Structure 1
Amino acid sequence: MRVLFALLAVVALTAAEVFFKEEFNDASWEKRWIQSKNKDDYGEFKLSHGKFYGDSDADKGIQTSQDAKFYSRAAKFPKKFSNEGKTLVIQFSVKHEQNIDCGGGYVKVMASDADLADFNGETPYNIMFGPDICGPGTKKVHVIFNYKGKNLLIKKDIRCKDDEYTHVYTLIVNPDNTYEVLIDNEKAESGSLEADWDFLPPKTIKDPDAKKPEDWDDREYIDDPEDSKPADFDKPEHIADPDAKKPEDWDDEMDGEWEPPMIDNPEYKGEWKPKQIKNPEYKGKWVHPEIDNPEYTPDDKLYAYKDFGAIGFDLWQVKSGTIFDNVIVTDSVEEAKAFAEETWGANKDAEKKMKEKKDEEDRKKAEEEEKKRKDEEDSKKKGDEDEEEADDEDKEEAHDEL
């Protein structure tokens, strides 16, 4: 039985189609990824494994290298394809080793006719997916679909990772109009395209001809008609201080007529309100009846695009240092998960250990520098004290001589 399952898994992977795959193993990536010419001051991507990593070769990716810059590079697929009738998986890894404060980390997947030499923020795309961080308020995963010319944002909030380690982001779009977002091969969100985006108008709307009946009483509680305000209730909130006395030096002509200061009235009981009782005429909350929306037309192909043919990074970063790696676009969830485990999964523990080791080294170095600085300050302070003491002795000797 185990052999059968293993064979089925092999068959599934064999049948999978990989439309695009990029591991950024060497400098040849620059030939595949076209630098946009839309601006003349784009930031430069550099091939790097960063300051900490699991494998010095496998963990190389393209890293943003200049602060406060736009970045824009894109690559064509070997051939265009449509995801109609099949699963679509978009996956890549992101490492914000600079402890990013504001910047994008997403990809845009476009049609095959996209002009990559002019790739910019206005370039049409089919799907935009990936993390976006800007201050403490924005730490989310974008999932944006273009539908009939409009870019539709997901209505759910998917929080992205904001640490300095490598993380894998996976978007799965299924032919039954459902989706799933994975982070590090674990589900972060899932649901229905129709429910979680505004692809279509609502199925039902409030009946425009329906109105709440005039005699409909939706007050659950009413004032008790038999309750009345007590006679001693109407006391002012503030009264003149009975213990206050007019100052002896008060001049009415100069200072005006003297009035005692006001104090809180100890007998004040607040604003009186009659007690509430159940309304005998209460009919419940009136619910506006709904009808089928005449503008609603179901679409069982919300997920489908006729043409996929390019992918690119078009983003802004305040503080550079983000590394992108291991991009894959496929029709197989299993293929994408296996690729993530072969790359990120195989090296994440070593990356963490190297990061922790470096952090410890940096901590010790900082402590040594702080100790050296303090020793120098103490030494200088002692030298100043010795010099001052010597001056005092000289003065005393001079005084004795006199």
Structure 2
Amino acid sequence: MKYSLILFALVACVSAEVFFEEKFNDDSWEENWIYSKHPGKEFGKFVRTAGKFFNDEEADKGLQTSQDARFYALSRKFKPFATEGKDLVIQFSVKHEQKIDCGGGYLKIFDCSLNQEDMHGESPYRIMFGPDICGPGTKKVHVILNHNDKNHLINKEISCKDDEYTHVYTLIIKPDNTYEVLIDGDKKESGSLEEDWDILPPKKIKDPEAKKPEDWDDRETIPDPDDKKPEDWDKPEHIPDPEATKPADWDDEMDGEWEPPMIDNPEYKGEWSPKQIDNPAYKGPWIHPEIDNPEYTPEPKLYAQKEICAVGLDLWQVKSGTIFNNILLTDDVEYAQKAISNLKATQEGEKKMKEEQDKAEREEAKENEKKEEEDDEDNDEEDENVPPVEEADHDEL
């Protein structure tokens, strides 16, 4: 038994595979990644950089959007693979160094039919995953799955990170038709592909033959039939002001007959209605019975992708500066976890460097302000030392 477990573990270890990994270690990325030339779009360029603040300048270099108000369309193909019987892990890092106000930070996963030089927003894809931010109202993680050539959005709201530091987004799709979404290695959402996407018709539907019985009483309370309106209830809502007096200068012939202004009646009680009592005939809310949906057919392999062949950055950004890095596609969840083991150190290094930069900028601004004040004082002193111009004597002119 022990031997079997060891053998199983070894087989599982051997079968685990990294399908694609990109760390942008050098400038060779320009040879492997292809820009779209789709007409009618003003595309922006990516540059390889670690940005303005980082932990390890060389290790932290990724692809950064470099031009404001641009579409970006860049992709890379690799050896195709299928996911039947396997986990699919999609993982990458995003650093919105510019403190993004509106723009995408997601990846698209394609099959081999992608025309890289014509990639654009309508190009068919298999999966779209990652953060999207636009103003205070949109700060979410997209998880869109394509099934039978139709894109399906997850029906849950997953909040994304919106600060200026590196964060890692991970999507795991499993052979049991479940999924997990992680940010920085922490689970943010999970569930069933069938339940959290409207990919398949519902298992159950309301019975079209069923109708609520006519004598079904779902009123929890009813008016008390024995309750009677008090005889002194009806009072006018407004009455003439008893304190008002006719102005002394009022002329009935010129101004008409004087009438006192109206005020709210303190004795007004509003419309009367009988008090409510428990309904003795109450049966509770009627629940529409359900039946099996004849259009529903289970798909045990709903998770499976027949062909994955390319990854792309296809997005729009108002303010550029986002850095993408450490793109990983694998069936090895443990490998993906190890790949982000240095994330905390990266984030701490970025924060430390940015804090130092911010401090230096504040001190520089303070020095500049002080210098401007000194210059203003010097100018004032110079003005004071200038001798006044004597006025000419009119008799001399």
> Normalising to structure 2: TM-score of the pair?
0.92
CA distance in 1, matches of 2:375, 2:267: 70
The residue that corresponds to 1:197 in the other structure is 197
Aligned-partner SS, 2:24: coil
Q: Which residue of 1 aligns with 2:18?
A: 18
Map 1:272-311 → 2, pairs under 5 A: 272-311=272-311
Q: 1:8 to 1:377 in 2, by over 3 A?
A: farther
Say if 1:11 and 1:185 are closer, same or farther in 2 by CA, change over 3 A: farther
- The answer on whether the counterparts of 1:73 and 1:313 sit within 8 Å (CA) in structure 2 is yes
Shift of 1:257: 3.5
Contact residue 13 and residue 334 of structure 1 kept, 8 A: no
Instruction: Work out whether residues 224 and 274 of structure 2, in 8 Å CA contact, stay in contact via their aligned partners in 1.
Output: yes
- Decide whether the 8 Å contact of 2:21 with 2:326 is kept in 1: yes
Which residue of structure 1 aligns with residue 364 of structure 2? 365
Q: How do 1:78-157 and structure 2 match up within 5 A?
A: 79-157=79-157
Question: Which residue identity is paired with 2:60?
Answer: D
- The DSSP-based 3-state class of the residue aligned with 1:370 is helix
- Matched to 1:347, the amino acid is T
SS in 2 for 1:281: coil
Equivalent AA in structure 1 for residue 186 of structure 2: E
Three-state SS of the structure 1 residue aligned to 2:341 is helix
* TM-superposed deviation, 1:368: 2.3
Give the secondary-structure state (helix, strand or coil) at the position aligned to 1:341.
coil
Q: Are 2:76 and 1:75 equivalent residues in the alignment?
A: yes
C-alpha distance in structure 2 between counterparts of 1:387 and 1:258, whole Å? 78
SS, match of residue 263 in structure 2? strand
1:72 shift after superposition: 0.4
Look up the match of 1:170: 170
1:350 counterpart = 2:341: no
Shift of 1:9: 8.4
Residue 73 of structure 1: SS of its match in structure 2? Answer: strand
User: Does structure 1 retain, via aligned residues, the 8 Å contact 2:239–2:265?
Assistant: yes
Whichever residue aligns with residue 367 of structure 2, its letter is: E
- The code of the aligned residue for 1:164 comes to E
Relative to structure 1, is the Cα distance of residues 12 and 293 closer, same or farther in structure 2, using a 3 angstrom cutoff?
A: closer
Quote the offset at 1:279 in angstroms. 0.8
CA distance in 1, matches of 2:239, 2:8: 89
Amino acid at match of 1:363: R
Query: Are the equivalent residues in 2 in contact too, given 1:217–1:282 (CA < 8 A)?
Result: yes
Which range moved further: 211-220 or 101-110?
211-220
Q: Structure 1 residues 376, 248: closer, same or farther in 2, change over 3 A?
A: farther
Shift of 1:74: 0.2
| Secondary structure of the corresponding residue to residue 55 of structure 1 | coil
Question: AA paired with 1:350?
Answer: G
Whole-Å Cα distance in 2 between the matches of residues 103 and 55 of structure 1? Answer: 26
Q: Matches of 1:200 and 1:7 in 2, distance apart?
A: 38
- Residues of 2 paired with 1:348 and 1:14: CA distance? 33
User: Offset of 1:372 from its aligned partner?
Assistant: 3.0
Paired residues of 1:199 and 1:302 also in contact (CA < 8 A): no
Give the letter aligned to residue 56 of structure 1: E
- Give CA deviations for 1:195-245 in whole Å, capped at 9, x if unaligned: 110011111111111111111111110001111111222112221111112
Task: Return 5+ residue gaps in structure 1 as ranges.
Answer: none
Q: CA RMSD in A?
A: 2.4
Query: How much has 1:148 moved relative to structure 2?
Result: 1.1
Alignment partners' CA distance in 2, 1:282 and 1:113: 61
Q: Deviations over 1:98-142 (max 9, x none)?
A: 000000000000001211110110110000000000000000000
| CA shift for structure 1 position 6 | 12
Distance in 1 between residues matched to 2:330 and 2:366, nearest whole Å: 49
Query: Quick one: which amino acid aligns to residue 75 of structure 1?
Result: R
The 1:247/1:46 distance shift into structure 2, 3 A limit, reads: same
In the aligned structure 1, how far is the partner of 2:111 from the partner of 2:74?
15
1:332 corresponds to: 332
Superposed displacement of residue 373, structure 1? 3.3
SS in 1 for 2:291: strand
Quote the residue 1:225 is aligned against: 225
Q: CA deviation at 1:370?
A: 2.9
Cα distance in 2, alignment partners of residues 236 and 205 from structure 1: 54
CA separation in 1, counterparts of 2:9 and 2:358? Answer: 41
Letter aligned with residue 355 of structure 1: K
After superposition, the Cα gap between the structure-2 partners of 1:8 and 1:287, relative to the gap in structure 1 and judged at 3 Å, is closer
* 1:158-208, Cα deviation, whole Å (9 max, x unpaired): 100000000000000000000001111111111111111001111111111
Q: Compared with structure 1, are the counterparts of its residues 380 and 163 closer, same or farther at alpha carbon in structure 2 (3 Å cutoff)?
A: same
Q: Are the equivalent residues in 1 in contact too, given 2:166–2:346 (CA < 8 A)?
A: no
Distance in structure 1 (CA, Å) of the matches to 2:261 and 2:378: 64
* Partner SS state of residue 305, structure 1: coil
Aligned partners of 2:185 and 2:337 also within 8 Å: yes
Residue of structure 1 equivalent to 2:271: 271
Find the aligned partners of 1:10 and 1:362 in 2 and give their Cα distance.
55
- CA apart distance, 1:359: 1.6
**Structure 2: runs of 5 or more not aligned:** none
Moved more, 353-362 or 104-113: 353-362
TM-score, normalization: structure 1? Answer: 0.90
Q: Which moved more, 1:364-373 or 1:62-71?
A: 364-373
What residue is the counterpart of 2:43 in the other structure? 42
Q: What per-residue deviation string (whole Å, max 9, x for no partner) do you get for residues 258-292 of structure 1?
A: 32211111112233221110111111111111111
Q: Which amino acid aligns with 2:349?
A: A
C-alpha distance in 1 between matches for 2:280 and 2:126: 58
Answer whether contact 1:221 1:278 (CA < 8 A) is retained. Answer: yes
The question of 1:179 aligning with 2:176 is answered no
SS at match of 2:84: coil
User: Does structure 2 conserve the Cα–Cα contact (< 8 Å) formed by 1:17 and 1:330?
Assistant: yes
Q: Report the CA distance between 1:13 and its aligned residue.
A: 5.3
Residue 237 (structure 1) aligned with residue 209 (structure 2): no
CA–CA separation in structure 2 for the residues paired with 1:379 and 1:241: 72
